[in-house]
Amino acid sequence: MSDQAQSTQAASRQDPELGDKFGYLVGLGVGCLIASAFVPAQQMMLALMFSGAGLLSVAAYFKGVEFLRARAQKVLFRAVTSFVESDAAPSFTTDGDGVIFYQNAAAVQRFGGKSGVSLVMVLGGLVASASAALHRLKAKADLSGAAREDIALRRGHLRLAVHRIGGDGYLWRLEEIADFASMARGSDGIGLPMLAVSKTGTVLFMNEPMRSLIGQRRKTLDRIVEDLPIRPGDVHRITTEAGHENVAIVEVPGAAGRRELYFVPSPTETPCLERDLVDVLPVPIVTMKRDGTIRVANRMARELLRIGEGDEAGLGELIEGLGRPLQDWIAEVAERTTTSRPEFVRAARAPQDTYIQVTLSRFEKGEEAGLVAVLNDATELKTLEAQFVQSQKMQAIGQLAGGVAHDFNNLLTAISGHCDLLLLRRDPGDPDYADLEQINQNANRAASVVGQLLAFSRKQNLRPELLDLRDTIGDLTHLLNRLVGEKITLHLTHELDDKMIRADRRQFEQVMMNLVVNARDAMTDGGTIDIETRLVTLREDLARDRAVVPAGEYVMIRVRDQGNGIPPENLSKIFEPFFTTKRSGEGTGLGLSTVYGIVKQSGGFIFADSEIGTGTSFTLYFPAQKPEHAAAAETAPRREAATVHEGGVVLLVEDEAPVRAFASRALRMRGYTVIEAANAEEALETLGDETLEVDVFVTDVIMPGMDGPTWVAEALKRRPGTRVIFVSGYAEESFADDQARIPDSVFLPKPFSLTQLTETVQAQLH
């Protein structure tokens, strides 16, 4: 195929209209050849003359089109270059292979104005994988005419844009290259050698002092620093243009594993020069003598440690909480008897708790050894660590409280149970009756103390019901007035309409009493305690104090006093168990932690606000319940009171012998046949007798070996339909999933009385 035909086809591809005309011309020529076989020679000659003239006209037309196209493209390129010539952003025009044939003044100033080279070579020192980035953008521009991409640099990003111009030309524009240049100039202005390296040690950037120091471009960090790895704040040996030099390297971490390294020369005899060098560092750093006396502290270190102008304090006056003598640590580092590792301390002069990570290193200053300390504000890190430790402590205390409460509930069940057995055989006129009543009452008081332990660990047994706060708090007002005394006035405000909450009545009353008692103790001179209830609608989630209250309708309860207030440093600790600001013997520190546990287990939220000299308010949020739910609960069929019933076989499984003895005697007194087992394995062995009929299983949940739900599930495979009663000193919620697998099962919390046990058994049987 001739060059002319190839160019014609190329033109047809670029212009569909020309392609159609070219096809028409080819068709015309083929038609003439076919017609020559059927037309006389004279007429054919005439036809060929007209056809030749037509072909010449079309060829001339194509030539004219190509000329106009080339001229238009030159005009287009001239317009584009004229447009970007004064642009502040570097701009290039290239051909399809990426070879530069134009660059504006900004590009010449920034990259040196090399012509005839590819754009990949120009951008290779600035953009990682420049070839891949340019090829990717060019492919997008071929499809849509233009493309743009943000490419991450050491700091910020570079926006690289490309536009297709003409048939085979591209305009490239580096939109924010000026920002990078200003950053580089800012680093050059520091006057301190600095470079940026990637996670793998590739050198990404050097400022002018660094390039002057090492004398040439180095691509990797190991070509500069001889004793890798970097020990932040320590002295390293580097290769420079003049030979080897010892410098202290300060590291500033960046994003994606990048690091900025600042090279601090060994301190000179001129303190002003030394101060000038370190003062510009973006990290707190101090130099000191071997006795800990501060020689030079840069600006960030002075702000962190609260060092005033002309202050010649020692390091021991500025930090505290090391856990060992500071002078011993300084001496160990100065004598190189220990490896330099970071230590966490507190800033002694800071008004609030400020934690600092200190890395101490030795450097040589002539014949005298000095020390350099690199500081890092670790307050946020230590705060998170303290929160984590606190959560672990709360979890440990909760587990301890749950275990102690379980054992106490077993003991209290045996004590109160046997007391009930004794009371059954005595009338009020018996001389021992009053003593037995005292034992029974104190057992109940002990059970309430155990309930407090379970409350703050959120493992108490709740019996939630729908409560109308107007009635509940109204009924409680008489008791609350007696608690606050005569000098304090209780003021109630209700704006609830008909909304209710779902909570355990007894536990909710304990919450209100604890809050009112705390308010009373805060007002030694008297005052008013305001209790406010109202409906609150949260349109969006409420986030405060590391808790998030989902959007919705809530019943808000606020208890506000006019006391002295809580100091800000104590406000975050008031819900911790055993934390109290009262004098020894005046409080256990369980009141507010119990309130917190009950509210959280009931599905609510509690927040505290306080101002010194004004007072404190506690705000509680409970999900609002609709009144129709209450109506449904009131109309639900109730189980009639149990009556004494004789008959029925009970398999009693309890690992605590005193509890088992009491329960067995109580059931036998009511006419039941009781079969005892000390553990689950013994119970399954007893049920191996197919002739033995059992009506109900009464079993402890937690036992050595197989637990209650597990052995019951196994037994029900052979004896389906048998009723089940689980008893435990732990909360029902702790094994709710296991209980859900057992049909027709109920839960009886410990400690339980004789009447509660027998009524529960009879209710299961009937």
| Same-domain pairing of 608 and 622 | yes
> Which CATH number goes with the domain that contains 568?
3.30.565.10
Residue pLDDT, tens place only, 33-86: 555 555 455 555 665 565 565 556 655 655 665 655 556 566 666 767 777 777
How many domains does the chain divide into?
4
- 628 located within any domain: yes
Residues 718 and 614 in one domain: no
Task: Give per-residue pLDDT as tens, 229-256.
Answer: 887 666 788 888 878 888 878 777 766 6
- In terms of domains, do 625 and 480 share one? yes
* Residue from 702, 690, 695, 561 nearest 619 by CA: 561
Specify if 373 maps to a domain: no
743-759 average pLDDT score:
85
Instruction: Name the band, by pLDDT with cuts 50, 70 and 90, for residue 707.
Output: confident
pLDDT one-digit tens code per residue, 170-198: 888 887 543 434 444 444 445 578 888 88
**Residue among 65, 84, 162, 87 at smallest CA distance from 123:** 162
Residues 699, 610 within the same domain: no
Helix (H) / strand (E) containing 91: strand 91-95
* Residue where a domain stops, chosen among 157, 181, 205: 181
Percent of the chain with pLDDT over 70: 71
Region 468-494: mean pLDDT is 85
Domain assignment present for residue 242? The answer is no
pLDDT in tens, 82-111: 777 777 778 888 888 888 888 888 888 777
318-361 pLDDT per residue, tens: 888 887 888 888 888 877 766 667 888 888 888 777 888 888 87
Question: Among residues 60, 81, 102, which one ends one of the domains?
Answer: 81
Backbone CA torsion sign across 293, 299, 301, 305: positive
Residue 282 lies in a domain: no
| pLDDT score recorded for residue 297 | 84
The answer on 709 and 661 residing in a single domain is: yes
Report the C-alpha dihedral over residues 604, 610, 615, 618, rounded to 10 degrees.
0
Secondary element (H or E) of residue 518: helix 505-522
Through-space distance between the first and last CA atoms of the chain, rounded to whole angstroms: 105
124 and 150 housed in the same domain: yes
Q: Are 31 and 124 contained in the same domain? A: no
Residue identified by tokens 């054992």 is 407
The mean pLDDT value of the chain amounts to 76
Neighbours of 696 (CB within 10 A): 22
CATH (domain of 108) = 3.30.450.20
Are 704 and 736 within one domain?
yes
pTM above 0.85, yes or no: no
User: Quick one: 614 and 713 in the same domain?
Assistant: no
Its domain, for residue 675, covers 649-765
Q: Give a yes or no: residue 344 inside a domain.
A: no
Q: Is 600 exposed, middle or buried (0-12, 13-18, 19+ CB in 10 A)?
A: middle
Residue of 136, 359, 400 whose CA lies nearest to 251: 359
Position 251 in a domain: no
Same domain, 481 and 580: yes
Is the pLDDT score of 314 beyond 60? yes
Q: What is the CATH number of the domain that holds 670?
A: 3.40.50.2300
Same domain, 494 and 624: yes
Q: Which two tokens stand for residue 99?
A: 């070879």
Last residue of a domain, one of 53, 81, 109: 81
- Of the candidates 422, 516, 535, 439, the one whose C-alpha atom is nearest the C-alpha of residue 476 is 516
The total number of residues shown for the chain amounts to 766
- 559 inside domain: yes
Residues 488 and 535 reside in one and the same domain? yes
Long-range contacts of the stretch 120-128 (C-beta < 8 A, 24+):
122/92, 126/153, 126/158, 126/180, 127/151, 127/153, 127/158, 127/160
Residue-wise pLDDT tens digits, 538-566: 988 888 877 889 999 999 999 999 888 88
Q: What is the pLDDT of residues 602-644, one digit of tens each?
A: 889 999 999 888 899 999 999 998 775 444 444 444 433 334 4
CB 660 within 8 A of CB 414: no
Chain position carrying tokens 């305690």: 529
Smallest CA-to-CA distance from 81 within 213, 159, 209, 169 is with 169
Structure tokens at 516: 């009112």
Radius of gyration of the chain (CA): 44
Does residue 567 lie in a domain region?
A: yes
